[in-house]
Amino acid sequence: MRESFGSRFGVLMAMVGSAVGLGNMWRFPYMVSEHGGAAFLFVYVICVFIICLPIFFAEFVVGRRSQSNAFRAFEKLAPGSQWKWVGFVAITAPVIILSYYSVVGGWSIQYFFKSCTFGFTELVTQEYLDSMFAGFISSTWAPLLGHTFFLILTALVLMGGVKSGIERFGKVMMPILYFIVLAIAIWTATLPGASEGLSFLFNPDFSAITPSVCAAALGQAFFSLSLGYGTMLTYASYVSKKENIASSSVSIALSDLVFSLIASCAIMPAVFAFGLNTQGGPGLVFQTLPYIFSKMPFGGLVAILFFLSLVVAALTSAISLYEVGVAYLTEERKMSRKKAVIVLFVAIWVVGVLCSLSFGPLSHVKIFGNIFFDFLDKLSANFLMTLGSLMVVLFVGWKMKKPDVFDEFTNGGTLRGNVRLFRILWPVLRYVAPVAILVIFISNLIG
């Protein structure tokens, strides 16, 4: 018998756990600050609701209808066709992204340990933190240790299986995570000078909206909602037939959006209040925040809570990426769950080691002008993810039969609201979403 999620809350928390991750706490804040603040946010919200939500519905439909892993799903719904190759991309892409995701997860663990020894409470300067971060990621052993530890933690949860591993972990950790980040956001809102940061976030200057801002916003939305990688599809295949696809997807997308906003509210006002550079880049969370913590009352404690949250958020996302491969190996290659977890561990670990070393000992190795880490980041975020999403919407909109899609989306026509929503969804799936994704895809390719 195939495993499934036990409760509605458990499903939601596991999916929110997949969506909420480094993308919200590490990537989103620096994307917002690099791309004009509120203007970026405005485009981002539109992307989430108009383009990403229909893709989310599509992944849900494919996963739940097929009740299969990402590879089998396409083969099952379109037997004998070439669509199975989409399934192939859907199971390899998560392994690729996980190998570098785990490296950043490892940095978070190391920063968590550092905060536990109150490493950010001395009178540190920004320059010191910058060089500490640069020195740390380019060193050989410390990041490797973090990567290994992070991957072991992920593997341990996966050994537990869907219900007692993934679901139980998400149910407990996700609410705690929200609480911690919300508490930090409330505190930063009271800082003198915080209002400037809030207005940077919420007061849009529409002239700042450029094509590159739109492309960045859509890419971020894909990444944050875990779309195009077969993760939501795999989780959806464990969801009961009674679940309402539309309301679950909307709740997950909203929770993800709200979390990104809370995380930005925890970070940006503090950046302004301390007069720091808003162009923090990927180092924002690791360089700028520790400086802020060092200046806060009880900052040592806040730092511990923050980095703990970062680790937990990264873990629940990594679990979802890992599960795509586990589902494939256990169901298609008939491996035991334990063996599947171990086989994948080795593959992901090795690629991750190359990623980690690419900041230091292997920094001279360039692929298309990028170090290995950046190459994988670009390959997955700009290429595989968009390609995966495009394929899923094309599959649902053009290959699956409309009555089947309708049946799955509306639970056999019994959900009135979904029946009405389907009228708008269908043309969006067939025309609007593929065209929008294609435009972004091409602009990423030539940009």
Query: Residue 238, Cβ neighbours under 10 Å: how many?
Result: 23
Q: Which stretch binds ligand PHE (CB under 6 A): 15-23, 81-89, 195-203, 402-410?
A: 15-23
Q: What's the closest the beta carbon of residue 294 comes to ligand PHE, in angstroms?
A: 26
Question: Does position 21 bind ligand PHE by CB under 6 A?
Answer: yes
Closest CB to ligand PHE among residues 23, 290: 23
15 binds ligand PHE (CB under 6 A): no
Q: Is 160 exposed, middle or buried (0-12, 13-18, 19+ CB in 10 A)?
A: middle
Can residue 226 be called a binding residue for ligand PHE (CB under 6 A)? yes
Which span sits near ligand PHE by CB under 6 A: 21-29, 55-63, 349-357, 419-427?
21-29
Provide the minimum distance between the beta carbon of 380 and ligand PHE in the complex, in angstroms, as a whole number.
8
At 373, which amino acid appears? F
- Note whether 320 binds ligand PHE by CB under 6 A: yes
Inter-CA distances, 380 with 15, 30, 56, 328, 441, Å: 20, 19, 18, 20, 12
Determine the interface stretch with ligand PHE among 22-30, 161-169, 233-241, 370-378 (rule: CB under 6 A).
22-30
Q: Does 224 bind ligand PHE (CB under 6 A)?
A: yes
23 forms part of the interface with ligand PHE (CB under 6 A): yes
Q: Could you tell me how far CA 440 lies from the centroid of its own chain?
A: 19
Q: Which is nearer to ligand PHE, 132 or 266 (CB)?
A: 266
Which amino acid, 147? H
Shortest distance, position 446 Cβ to ligand PHE, whole Å: 24
Cβ closest to ligand PHE, residue 45 vs residue 191: 45
Restricting to residues 71-110, name those near ligand PHE by CB under 6 A: 97
Name residue 426's amino acid.
Answer: W
Choose, by CB under 6 A, the member of 18, 356, 382, 410 that binds ligand PHE.
18
| 188 is an interface residue for ligand PHE by CB under 6 A | no
Choosing from 223, 291, 307, 345, the residue that interacts with ligand PHE (CB under 6 A) is 223
> Which of 5, 11, 17, 24 touches ligand PHE (CB under 6 A)?
24
Per the CB < 8 A criterion, the answer to whether 372 and 358 are in contact is: yes
Beta carbons of 123 and 260 less than 8 angstroms apart: no
> Of 20-28, 40-48, 277-285, 415-423, which segment contacts ligand PHE by CB under 6 A?
20-28
The contact set with ligand PHE (CB under 6 A) reads 18-19, 21-24, 97, 223-224, 226, 229, 231, 317, 320-321
